[in-house]
């Protein structure tokens, strides 16, 4: 089995077996099970040229297949009347690394500018949506590895609250939920400016009692910017903590942690967790 991402950042799985007799362009049904769960039936297409024909199974960026594949530790696949098992240890780390390899390769292909670029040249266009999502997935994975939260994993947006799903790449753990978003800075915008912008957006959407704060702190010789918002309304009390770290010189990585319905009062180590999240945000964005 191979995991492939093409130059357009479209993911797919590839299956090959020397015992198979394949015809280029044929459709091959495959049944997959992840960690012994319910079967997932997909269709693969035979690609390549003899004698190296293989079966390709597309994995769209927002599909259940790629989300399940990232979180699983074991996969069973039944194809052409045969059953195969694959260990998926470290998949959540490997996918972002593969994407970065493709990105580096594409950058190397780009021709050098024929003349110096003027200082007033416009900023590059925003990254394609698929590439941006992969970068957010990598940041989220790095963040969760640094926090070592129990049962932490990146999840599909359909599994998240609307509030988090609208922010960016969503993650869950046994003791916390949150999201990660890459923010492209506007002009000379600072981390504190961004914290104020986040507070203003939450204040506008809150229909009840609202409180907020912002700060910048030195953590391990690096600066982390923070925003805190709390909204109490008919739906309950929700607290959002934003940990903002500089990312790729001109941009920011925003790490969001959500608390709701008195979770803060139930936790005896709130300060310790906040310190953990601050350090994890800086570590993930380096």
Asked if 61 and 46 touch (Cβ cutoff 8 Å), the reply is no
Residue 62 in domain: yes
Domain total of the chain: 2
Residue 97 in domain: no
**If you average pLDDT over residues 231-249, what whole number do you get?**
86
**If you average pLDDT over residues 234-254, what whole number do you get?**
86
Sign of torsion over alpha carbons 67, 253, 211, 148: positive
State the Cα–Cα distance between residues 274 and 261, nearest whole angstrom: 18
State the Cα–Cα distance between residues 5 and 126, nearest whole angstrom: 20
Q: Take residue 52 and report the two structure tokens written for it.
A: 């190296």
Q: What percent of the chain has pLDDT over 90?
A: 18
State the Cα–Cα distance between residues 206 and 210, nearest whole angstrom: 7
Residue 17 in domain: yes
Instruction: Grade residue 102 by pLDDT with cuts at 50, 70 and 90.
Output: low
Residue 72 in domain: yes
State the Cα–Cα distance between residues 61 and 131, nearest whole angstrom: 9
Of 60, 75, 90, which closes a domain? 90
Report whether pLDDT(26) > 70. yes
Q: pTM of whole model > 0.85?
A: no
- pLDDT tens-digit series, residues 260-283: 654 444 444 677 888 889 888 988
State the Cα–Cα distance between residues 95 and 91, nearest whole angstrom: 6
> What are phi and psi for residue 45, nearest 5 degrees?
-120, 135
Instruction: Grade residue 116 by pLDDT with cuts at 50, 70 and 90.
Output: very low
Nearest Cα neighbor of 193 from 242, 139, 133 is 242
* Domain that residue 82 falls in: 2-90
Residues 266, 138 share a domain? yes
Domain with residue 14: its CATH number is: 2.40.30
Instruction: Grade residue 70 by pLDDT with cuts at 50, 70 and 90.
Output: confident
Asked if 136 and 92 touch (Cβ cutoff 8 Å), the reply is no
């Amino acid at each position: 089995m191979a995991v492939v991402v093409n130059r357009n950042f479209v993911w797919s799985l590839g299956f090959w077996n020397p015992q198979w007799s394949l015809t280029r362009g044929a459709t091959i049904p495959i049944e997959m099970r992840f960690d012994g769960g319910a079967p997932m039936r997909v269709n693969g297409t035979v690609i390549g040229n003899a004698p190296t024909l293989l079966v390709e199974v597309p994995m769209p960026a927002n599909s259940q297949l790629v989300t399940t594949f990232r979180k699983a530790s074991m996969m069973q696949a039944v194809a052409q009347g045969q059953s195969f098992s694959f260990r998926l240890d470290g998949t959540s780390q490997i996918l972002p690394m593969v994407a970065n390899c493709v990105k580096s390769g594409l950058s190397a292909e780009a021709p050098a500018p024929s003349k110096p670029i003027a200082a007033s040249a416009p900023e590059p266009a925003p990254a394609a949506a698929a590439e941006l999502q992969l970068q957010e997935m990598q940041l989220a994975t790095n963040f969760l590895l640094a926090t070592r939260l129990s049962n932490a994993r990146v999840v599909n947006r359909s599994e998240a609250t609307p509030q988090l799903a609208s922010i960016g790449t969503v993650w869950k753990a046994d003791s916390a939920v949150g999201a990660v978003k890459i923010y492209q800075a506007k002009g000379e915008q600072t981390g504190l400016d961004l914290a104020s912008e986040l507070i203003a957006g939450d204040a506008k959407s809150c229909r009840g009692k609202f409180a907020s704060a912002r700060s910048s702190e030195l953590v391990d010789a690096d600066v982390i910017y923070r925003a805190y918002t709390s909204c109490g309304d008919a739906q309950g009390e929700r607290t959002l903590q934003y940990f903002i770290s500089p990312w790729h010189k001109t941009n920011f990585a925003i790490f969001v942690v959500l608390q709701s319905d008195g979770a803060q009062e139930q936790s005896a180590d709130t300060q310790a967790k906040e310190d953990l999240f601050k350090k994890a945000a800086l570590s993930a964005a380096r």
